[in-house]
Amino acid sequence: MRPKTCFRRNARPSALRLSSVILATVVAVILAGCGSSKPSSSTPSSSAPKHGGSLTVLEGDSFAGSWPGLDPATDTDGAANMSYMDAIYGELFELTAGGKETGDLATGYSFTNGGKTVNITLRQGVKFSDGSPFNAAAVVWNWKRDLAGNCSCKPVFIGTPVIAQTGTYSLSITLSYVDAPFINALQGDIFNWIASPTAVQKMGEKAFAIKPVGAGPFTVVSDVPDSLLALKRNPNYWQPGLPYLNSLTFKPVSSDETALTAMDSGAGQAYEGMSTPQLVSSFKAKFQTTAEPSTSPYDIQLNTKIAPFNNIKAREAIYYATDAALLDKSLFGDTYPVGESFTAPAGLFYEQTVPGYITYDLAKAKALVKSLGGLSFTLGTISVPTATELNEAIQTEWQAAGMKVTLASWDLTGLIAQFEGGKWQSMLQTAGAYDPGTGVGVCFRFCSTSPFTGVFSTTLNGLLLGAAGTVNQAQRKALYDQAAEYIAKNADGPFLFPIAGYNIADHGVGGPGLTTPLPVTDVNPEILWQYVYNNG
Amino acid sequence: MSVPAADLLASAPAQDLRAGAAPRARGWLRNLEIAVPGTVLVVLLFFCFIWPLVYHVPDPTVGNLFQVNLPLWSPGHILGTDTVGYDIMSRILYGGRVSFEVAAAVQLIGLVFGGLFGMVAAYRGGWTEAVMMRILDVFIAFPSLVLVLAIADSLGPSETHVIWALSAFSIPAFARVSRAATLRLRDQPFVVAARLAGTKTWRIMLRHLTPNIAPQMLTFSLLGASLTIILEGALDFLGYGIPAPTATWGNMIATGESFISVYPRLVIVPSIFLLVTSICLNMMGDGLRARWGVR
Amino acid sequence: MNISVPVQPARWPGSAFVRRLASSPTVRVSARRLLSAIPVLWGVTLLAFLLLNALPGDAASALLGIDATPAEIRSFSIKLHLNEPLWTRYGHWLAGVVTGNLGTSLASPQSVVSIIASRLPVTLELVIYALVLTFVVSVPLAVVCARWPRGIIDRICLVLSMASLSTAPYVLGLLLVIVFAVHWSIFPAIGYTALSTSLTGNLDTMTLPSIVLAIPLIGFYTRFLRADLLEQMQSEDYVVTARAKGVSEWRILTRHVLRNSFIGLLTVIGLNLATLIGATVIVEQIFSLPGIGYELLNAISNRDVPVVEGIVLVFGITVVLVNLLTDLLYGVLDPRIRHVRSRS
């Protein structure tokens, strides 16, 4: 058994590490989104990108808009701060159109040693913005520093991984097991961001966290944590002619509404992760609105260990009573693709339907509830507007089937405590990730080894962990399909739909991830800042 | 935070800052000053507590997914429905219940514990009083919202916890008022006479002091109720109060904030009820104070 | 003032002065007031600490989350001194407070003091701006009301001030946003532009929040000042004298009475401060202003105990000290008070 596989990436749940775990799975969907099958870019900018200009990007402050410090080794909000980190440090691997992992500061990777060793080659001739060389020694130094620290943001491995420099521009990491999603999991992970060792040593960690130095397209001009991050073009950036922008500024806003008025008044030209479906039309009227492709559907977790959901009849009643299509229609105007599994259109291994999945049938639900002599329980979720709103609507549906549902919501710490206590009965959550094998992927909600599961099945463990340990993509897909069928057969919990976030941009602003959709990998959408331009 | 009126009363030194401030009307107008807010409050109380018993009001936490975002004056939903199909009128009524319940409970707790505290302090005098008053000073030093917020967050969200948290501000406030009132009575001939006659302290407090400070405490509790309702709403608004989906005015305002440009009525309707209630409570308190000549 | 002090040969030059000082009623009252603030300040530290520490629950595991190993919990506990008894921890913390060290944030490598210092200018500007608005509106209003008490303006002011005193800042804030930002787009709804970046930009972002803070204060100050003006106009000897000399009512009101009332007004600022600070928490949240209140809510939701503790403490101490200061100033500035006290 590999107890921590499910947590591989960013997966240390911690109240401080807001970004990574439950938040990642719930808030991610809400704030940063996960995919819609109808990516709707209202007016794609057709003009060619021009050099120069500046861009102010707004970030929702409940998630991406707060950053304690920007040193990868200590940034507890790392995944949430992906945009800032990518802009300052660049990435070893970036996700490009069609969901391809492409080398940015790295050039390639390979699995050897039966899949247990990952070899990475780096781009040559790259320099950090302080002039020091970017090479394998720097990466090894960073990774070792990441692992040695006690940040809740550090990646978790079983056993101690062996990190070795194999050449000036090549290195390897060897685990005690096969970790197929290793490269995919780098998205939003602190391993993907390489700090300048010289700068860290010269400035000290505290000062470095406020004015970090990397090899990305931008360098820091001023950084007031949680309120303003001003960046300027890195003149020594390795890609000639890039970035397009001369300056890039990030500002937090308190809500989607405030972002709307802020953009109206010209206080910002882009907004990442708009998550209030009711405001889409307001944004669309004035700006380019791009739906983020989603990877994590909402699901209802049922605690199969305790009453009433230790009884499969009660679980089936939930399936019969849940009309996901109606929820989508009433709350979100029929926007999102209703699905039957832990995958979503923009993720890997997507299947919309699952054989044996129980669909909505109110009469059967009523009959089951009756035969059970009533069904009363608590449905919880994280206290984030979209989630609580969805819960209220679900409660309404279930009550129609004769169930008695009490609602509850907690902040992240409270939610963790609920799972710790093991007394929870049902939870509205999100499951899945771009690669189901990564940190907040499926195992997180369905492996009995995870503290956040309501399913305790060794069969399911075997399928999911087996998939994560298989490098061959076709074999992996077969295992995930089997897992989805297994979940459906046992009625472990119904799936709803992934709720997409939207990226908003002024006309004249464009770039991959911002105005053309890129898959949401872990938490945030990937935006490739070096290609972002402002022609307006 | 919030309504400085009662907050200031809570932190003001014994003399009353507002006394004599209001220009007083005569005759019928003076009656109106109490009658109008009084009537509004009675009507509100009737609709919040009695009406749902005699007339079918939709459950405030059971929505209708086929009737979301109905506008004002829709048939069957006089104030419309919100984004998940909850009837807004019903949520206003049940939310009002919560507001009044919390306000009443907090005032009662403040009245009993704070009143006693202040009375004992003033009656005993000397070091006892000095120490007791310094303790109150400590509580009053914190902005009421900050104090209440910190307590409510530690206790966790529920109506009972909100009541206890708000009491942390109401008890010291009542204690101050009761101390000031008792101080004025302490050396009055009838109290001195009772003391000389050997009447027991608790009896003096109960029989002689309590009835005489009662008008003051009552008018203050009306002002306090207004503040309590606003503070409770603030806790809900910030997410540390009574958990959603329980219908409260603060929760309604907080939810509506997310769609304020699209559905401003989701914020405006509960705001109006909150505003009217708190104005009426303040006017009643003020009016009664003037009528009873309470300082 | 020192007539009661018998003349004695001075042993050292300062002693007469010291004795004089000690016998001055103003100084005596002030000294007593100063001394009585000490236990209150101590109580404020105690309450701020207990609010966040005496509560049930294992802070370390709550902070680290479910996945933490026992060893991690242990080392974290030691780092935060959570393994020590409550009173020992309070001792550590108090020792830090006295030396101006409030600890380090759990969520970032910054010290609590530096976090508060970086947030202070926003909140301070907000408070000052709101007070300025308040004075600009309420002083003329109060004078007009006091000139014609029970007149039509006075009555309207009474109703309006009652309404303004009953307004919740979140209601007011959101309504102003609907009207001025959403509907008319006069002001931006949110955001903060530093004063150093742009003056107009700064005023743009600070005006609406300051109005929200100012409105209840305007109601209060207008009533307070009006009452004080009226009282003086009716009872003070110098007013009678001035009237006898034929000085016009307006002139008496604006030149003499108003000047005296300002001292009273000054003390009310102290009393208002707690209220005002409380309201900034909500206003900063609504308008996304990166002030101390905003940081407080942020820290509460992050369970960043040292930051919450620090901010609650700073709020409490500020209120105690400002009240102390206004009390002392009142004693020094107002001749009537000094006079009364020295006679008694």
Alpha-helical runs (H) found in B187-209:
189-196, 201-203
Residue A397 at interface with chain B, using a CB cutoff of 8 Å = yes
* pLDDT given for residue A248 in this prediction: 93
Contact at CB, B141 and C316, closer than 8 angstroms:
yes
Contact at CB, C62 and A413, closer than 8 angstroms:
yes
A contacts of B257 (beta carbons < 8 Å): 255, 257
Q: For residue B246, which of B42, B44, B33, B90 has the smallest C-alpha distance? A: B90
Tokens (6 digits) for A270: 């882009």
| Contacts of C136 by beta carbon, 8 Å cutoff, 6+ apart | none
Residue whose tokens read 């209601």: C171
Confidence class for position C186, pLDDT limits 50, 70, 90: confident
DSSP A119-148: EEEE-TT-B-TTSPBPSHHHHHHHHHHHHH
Give the closest-approach CA distance of A386 to chain B in angstroms: 10
Please give the C-alpha separations between residue A500 and each of A284, A531, B52, B257, B258, in angstroms, as whole numbers.
15, 23, 40, 21, 17
Chain A residue with minimum CA distance to B154: A414
Residue A330 at interface with chain B, using a CB cutoff of 8 Å = yes
Superfamily for domain range A71-207: Dipeptide-binding Protein; Domain 1 (3.90.76.10)
Residue among A13, A74, A264 whose CB faces C66 most closely: A13
Question: Which of A92-101, A218-227, A513-522, C50-59 is predicted with the least confidence, judged by mean pLDDT?
Answer: C50-59
Confidence class for position A13, pLDDT limits 50, 70, 90: very low
pLDDT, tens only, C76-117? 666 666 667 778 888 888 988 888 888 888 767 778 998 899
Q: Above 70 in pLDDT, residue A366?
A: yes
Question: Which of A36-40, A75-79, A134-138, A248-252 is predicted with the least confidence, judged by mean pLDDT?
Answer: A36-40
CB half-sphere exposure, B295, CA atoms < 13 A? 10
Dihedral angle computed from the Cα positions of residues B154, B159, B164 and B167, in that order, rounded to the nearest 10 degrees: 120
Confidence class for position A365, pLDDT limits 50, 70, 90: very high
Contact at CB, A279 and B84, closer than 8 angstroms:
no
Contact at CB, A392 and B84, closer than 8 angstroms:
yes
Residue A388 at interface with chain B, using a CB cutoff of 8 Å = yes
Contact at CB, A251 and C67, closer than 8 angstroms:
no
CA torsion sign for C159, C160, C163, C165 is negative
Task: Show me where the domains of chain A are located.
Answer: 39-66+226-291+504-536, 71-207, 296-499
* pLDDT given for residue B249 in this prediction: 94
Contact at CB, A150 and C75, closer than 8 angstroms:
yes
**A302 phi, psi to nearest 5 deg:** -115, 135
Instruction: Residue count of chain B, please give it.
Output: 295
State the amino acid at position B58 in one-letter form: P
Selected residues 26-65 of chain B with any CB under 8 Å from a CB in chain C? none
Q: How many CB atoms lie within 10 A of CB B56?
A: 6
- Percentage of chain C modeled with pLDDT above 90: 11
Q: For residue A410, which of A400, A398, A418 has the smallest C-alpha distance? A: A418
Residue C268 at interface with chain B, using a CB cutoff of 8 Å = yes
Chain B residue with minimum CA distance to C162: B279
Calpha distance A296→A429 (Å, rounded): 10
Q: Which residues of chain B have pLDDT under 70?
A: 1-30, 294-295
Contact at CB, A15 and C65, closer than 8 angstroms:
yes
* pLDDT, average across residues A197-210: 88
A contacts of C67 (beta carbons < 8 Å): 4, 7, 11-14, 156, 451
Selected residues 250-279 of chain B with any CB under 8 Å from a CB in chain C? 250, 253, 257, 260-261, 264, 267-268, 271, 274-275, 278-279
Residue A7 at interface with chain C, using a CB cutoff of 8 Å = yes
Three-state SS for A439? coil
* pLDDT given for residue B104 in this prediction: 96
* pLDDT given for residue C189 in this prediction: 60
**B99 phi, psi to nearest 5 deg:** -60, -50
Site from A203, A227, A444 to mutate, C interface, most C CB atoms within 10 angstroms? A227
Calpha distance A52→A246 (Å, rounded): 5
pLDDT, tens only, C217-276? 999 889 888 888 888 888 778 888 888 888 888 888 888 888 878 777 777 777 778 888
Contact at CB, B150 and C51, closer than 8 angstroms:
yes
Tokens (6 digits) for B76: 């069957």
In terms of DSSP bridges, do strands A533-534 and A270-274 run parallel, antiparallel, or are they unpaired? unpaired
| Contacts of A359 by beta carbon, 8 Å cutoff, 6+ apart | A319
- Radius of gyration of chain B measured on its C-alpha atoms: 21
* pLDDT given for residue A27 in this prediction: 36
Give the closest-approach CA distance of B252 to chain A in angstroms: 12
What CATH topology corresponds to A39-66+226-291+504-536? D-Maltodextrin-Binding Protein; domain 2 (3.40.190)
* pLDDT, average across residues A63-85: 77
Residue C315 at interface with chain B, using a CB cutoff of 8 Å = yes
Contact at CB, B2 and C168, closer than 8 angstroms:
yes
Task: Show me where the domains of chain B are located.
Answer: 22-58+73-292
Residue among B23, B261, B281 whose CB faces C182 most closely: B261
Site from B26, B131, B145 to mutate, C interface, most C CB atoms within 10 angstroms? B145
Site from B67, B259, B265, B267 to mutate, A interface, most A CB atoms within 10 angstroms? B259
Site from A274, A335, A360, A392 to mutate, B interface, most B CB atoms within 10 angstroms? A392
Domain B22-58+73-292 class, CATH top level: mainly alpha
Q: Above 50 in pLDDT, residue A528?
A: yes
Q: How many CB atoms lie within 10 A of CB C194?
A: 16
B contacts of C150 (beta carbons < 8 Å): 23
Model's pTM, two decimal places?
0.81
Q: Which residue has the higher pLDDT, C13 or A146?
A: A146
* pLDDT given for residue C78 in this prediction: 66
Most confident of A262-271, A520-529, C67-76, C327-336: A262-271
CA torsion sign for B153, B155, B161, B166 is negative
Calpha distance C227→C268 (Å, rounded): 13
Site from C116, C171, C172, C177 to mutate, B interface, most B CB atoms within 10 angstroms? C171
B contacts of C230 (beta carbons < 8 Å): 20
* pLDDT given for residue C157 in this prediction: 87
Q: Is C185 left (phi over 0), alpha (psi -120 to 50) or beta?
A: left
* pLDDT given for residue B13 in this prediction: 35
Confidence class for position A3, pLDDT limits 50, 70, 90: very low
Please give the C-alpha separations between residue C321 and each of C83, C90, C150, C273, C324, in angstroms, as whole numbers.
34, 22, 38, 11, 5
Query: How many contacts does B have with C, using Cβ atoms within 8 A?
Result: 187
Chain B residue with minimum CA distance to A379: B245
Calpha distance B178→B124 (Å, rounded): 13
| Contacts of B45 by beta carbon, 8 Å cutoff, 6+ apart | B100
Is residue C135 a contact partner of residue C216, using CB atoms and an 8 Å limit? Answer: no
pLDDT, tens only, C194-219? 777 777 778 888 888 999 999 999 99
Q: In what order do the strands lie in the sheet with A375-382?
A: A298-302, A426-430, A375-382, A403-410
Residue among A69, A261, A264 whose CB faces C109 most closely: A69
Q: Above 90 in pLDDT, residue A225?
A: no
Q: Which residue has the higher pLDDT, C330 or C79?
A: C330
pLDDT, tens only, A293-325? 777 889 999 999 998 999 999 999 999 999 999
Is residue C298 a contact partner of residue A226, using CB atoms and an 8 Å limit? Answer: yes
Calpha distance A24→A31 (Å, rounded): 10
Site from B65, B91, B251, B259 to mutate, A interface, most A CB atoms within 10 angstroms? B65
> What value of ipTM does the predicted structure carry?
0.82
Contact at CB, A414 and B156, closer than 8 angstroms:
yes
* pLDDT given for residue B4 in this prediction: 37
Domains contained in chain C, CATH given: 57-98 (no CATH), 112-343 (1.10.3720.10)
B contacts of A254 (beta carbons < 8 Å): none
Superfamily for domain range A296-499: Dipeptide-binding Protein; Domain 3 (3.10.105.10)
State the amino acid at position B202 in one-letter form: W
Contact at CB, A262 and C109, closer than 8 angstroms:
no
CA torsion sign for C198, B261, B245, B50 is positive
Q: Is B289 left (phi over 0), alpha (psi -120 to 50) or beta?
A: alpha
Contact at CB, B138 and C47, closer than 8 angstroms:
yes
Average pLDDT, chain C: 78
pLDDT, tens only, A391-432? 999 999 999 999 999 998 887 667 777 887 888 999 998 877
Average pLDDT, chain A: 81
Contact at CB, A16 and C304, closer than 8 angstroms:
yes
* pLDDT given for residue A2 in this prediction: 29
Tokens (6 digits) for A29: 């969907």
- Percentage of chain A modeled with pLDDT above 70: 87
Reduce the secondary structure of B29-59 to three states and give it as a string.
HHHHHHHHHHHHHHHHHHHHHHHHHHCCCCC
Q: For residue C302, which of C54, C63, C3, C4 has the smallest C-alpha distance? A: C63
